[in-house]
Structure 1
Amino acid sequence: YYQNCGIVDRVEEVHSKGAYGSLGYNCEWLLKEALKNVLRTHTTANSARFLYNIGPKFQPVKVFSIDKVYRNETLDATHLAEFNQVEGIVADYGISLGHLIGVINDFFCRMGLPRVRFKPAYNPYTEPSMEIFCYHTGLGKWIEVGNSGMFRPEMLRSLGLPPGVTVLGWGLSLERPAMIKFGF
């Protein structure tokens, strides 16, 4: 389906050569690689599909999902090979990183986890990007509970969203905040 509507060509162009302010990755993009079936490691693909579908008739929106994801992890007190990811996006005009920090702080405070920290990070789809940490009293340390950022313009324009639209996004583990909240 997506091969016939131009999005694949736009994504290939941005990835290979850059566009919309990006320099791209300056390497070959292969359709056969993109079409491989793999267990998803994050839910950004769901957000991208949703944003693509609303692009031509954009209206401000808030979207929330909970989906299973899979990682090649060594199991320990804070890592699982399979977990549930809570993903959210807010798409609108005139929103900023400050709004994203506020949304995430509010989310964790409502869950009973008021000790939240942010650390700059790299994510391929967002810039700026931040890792999110909550304090685990039982372990006596801060543990990562998610990642967040503002979707990059080259991603948004490739998906057909109009100039000036900003998208805030976050992906949070459901298990880690529960572990902190209930002392596991």
Structure 2
Amino acid sequence: MKMGTWNGPPLKPYNFDAKGINMANGALHPLMKMRNEMRKILLEMGFEEMPTNNFVESSFWNFDSLFQPQQHPARDAHDTFFLKKPASSTIEVTDYMNLVKKTHSEGGFGSIGWRYDWKQSEAEKPLLRTHTTAISSRMLYQLAQQKQFRPMKYFSIDRVFRNEAIDATHLAEFHQVEGLIADYGLTLGHLIGVISQFFQKIGIQRVSFKPAYNPYTEPSMEIFGWSEERQKWIEVGNSGVFRPEMLLPMGLPPNVQVIAWGLGLERPCMIATKCKDIRELFGPKVDINMVQNFRFVRYDKLKP
């Protein structure tokens, strides 16, 4: 056999019009695609991603560290999935826990507190985290323990759990997008500016704000986006400035403020996929064909 010659059977010309075998292939769920896009946006805005790999949290980090009183309705078994085994967890930051206890029961840092008998046994109850703000609290505490404070921008996108009735717009588990900035001299104007920039990047060009109440932020604002399709404002998130009663016991400097906002991932994803029932987007009723055919997210085409 000489180089460049073929001694085998005659070769048939390749038919470029012939169809190949349909091969089974995987596809990212629309929620994952939207999560990836939002993650890119927040990284481009200079935010650092927080570790969110612990679904099980103590009531201390989920509620108490956020200056949320132990009698708050959100801590009731009707709203929170408490664990039976183990029945309690260990709070490893004893000095900080005692400051939180004093702030709740007696006041401090310019506050009169909630004026009730704070119980460590209540704070030690383990649960499925009800919001990713439990991670934000841990990260801010770690930031406060550094020898010299440095401004930080954090974000997280991960799953949270609520003991809610399941219907077309509610699930017992969903994904929360959260962002926060810790720096000197931050104001409500900075919060409004950052929120507006973020929502413009995800396709909601017009946002408005309404005063609200949260136990751990003051002032607090609900975020509304304008829907061209419905010709009305719809609620798309929540926001606020963390209270001194939450930040000062951690050890953060008195002139440091923390602004934060959050939203659910499922609602914009329902808009993108034109899904009317959230159970068809996330859960056992998901249409596999929808997952296979949903190609990408175009935020400039989304309507809230």
With the length of structure 2 as denominator, give the TM-score of the two structures.
0.56
Deviations 1:74-129 (A, max 9, x none): 33443332111111110000111111111111111100111322111111111001
- The answer to whether structure 1 residue 10 and structure 2 residue 99 are counterparts is yes
- The answer to whether structure 1 residue 118 and structure 2 residue 209 are counterparts is yes
Question: Which amino acid in 1 is paired with 2:110?
Answer: G
Choose which of 224, 239, 254 in structure 2 pairs with 1:148.
239
Q: Residues of 1 paired with 2:119 and 2:92: CA distance?
A: 13
After superposition, the Cα gap between the structure-2 partners of 1:4 and 1:134, relative to the gap in structure 1 and judged at 3 Å, is closer
Q: Residues of 1 paired with 2:118 and 2:229: CA distance?
A: 45
Q: How far did 1:49 drift? A: 0.7
- The answer to whether structure 1 residue 36 and structure 2 residue 125 are counterparts is yes
How many residue pairs are counted as aligned between the two chains? 184
| Unaligned runs of at least 5 residues, structure 2 | 1-89, 276-304
Question: Which amino acid in 2 is paired with 1:29?
Answer: W
Q: Pairwise CA RMSD of aligned residues? A: 1.9
After superposition, the Cα gap between the structure-2 partners of 1:21 and 1:38, relative to the gap in structure 1 and judged at 3 Å, is same
| Unaligned runs of at least 5 residues, structure 1 | none
Q: How far did 1:3 drift? A: 4.2
Deviates more, 1:123-132 or 1:77-86: 77-86
Q: Residues of 1 paired with 2:144 and 2:119: CA distance?
A: 25
Contact 1:132 1:148 in 2 (8 A): yes
Choose which of 172, 180, 183 in structure 1 pairs with 2:271.
180
Question: Which amino acid in 1 is paired with 2:222?
Answer: E
Q: Computing the radius of gyration over CA atoms, which structure comes out larger, 1 or 2? A: 2
Question: Which amino acid in 1 is paired with 2:123?
Answer: A
Q: How far did 1:16 drift? A: 0.8
- Could you say which structure has the greater relative contact order, defined with CA pairs below 8 angstroms and 6 or more residues apart? 1
After superposition, the Cα gap between the structure-2 partners of 1:28 and 1:12, relative to the gap in structure 1 and judged at 3 Å, is same
Deviations 1:51-90 (A, max 9, x none): 1111032210000111211123333443332111111110
Q: Residues of 2 paired with 1:4 and 1:97: CA distance?
A: 31
After superposition, the Cα gap between the structure-2 partners of 1:180 and 1:142, relative to the gap in structure 1 and judged at 3 Å, is farther
Considering fraction of residues, name the structure with more strand.
1
Q: How far did 1:140 drift? A: 5.6
Deviations 1:26-50 (A, max 9, x none): 1111111111111211111111111
Question: Which amino acid in 2 is paired with 1:130?
Answer: M
Percent sequence identity is 59
Contact 2:91 2:124 in 1 (8 A): no
Q: Residues of 2 paired with 1:91 and 1:38: CA distance?
A: 27
Q: Residues of 1 paired with 2:265 and 2:206: CA distance?
A: 17
Q: How far did 1:136 drift? A: 4.3
1:48 aligns to what? 137
Q: Residues of 2 paired with 1:157 and 1:2: CA distance?
A: 19
With the length of structure 1 as denominator, give the TM-score of the two structures.
0.90
Q: Residues of 2 paired with 1:111 and 1:156: CA distance?
A: 30
2:174 aligns to what? 83
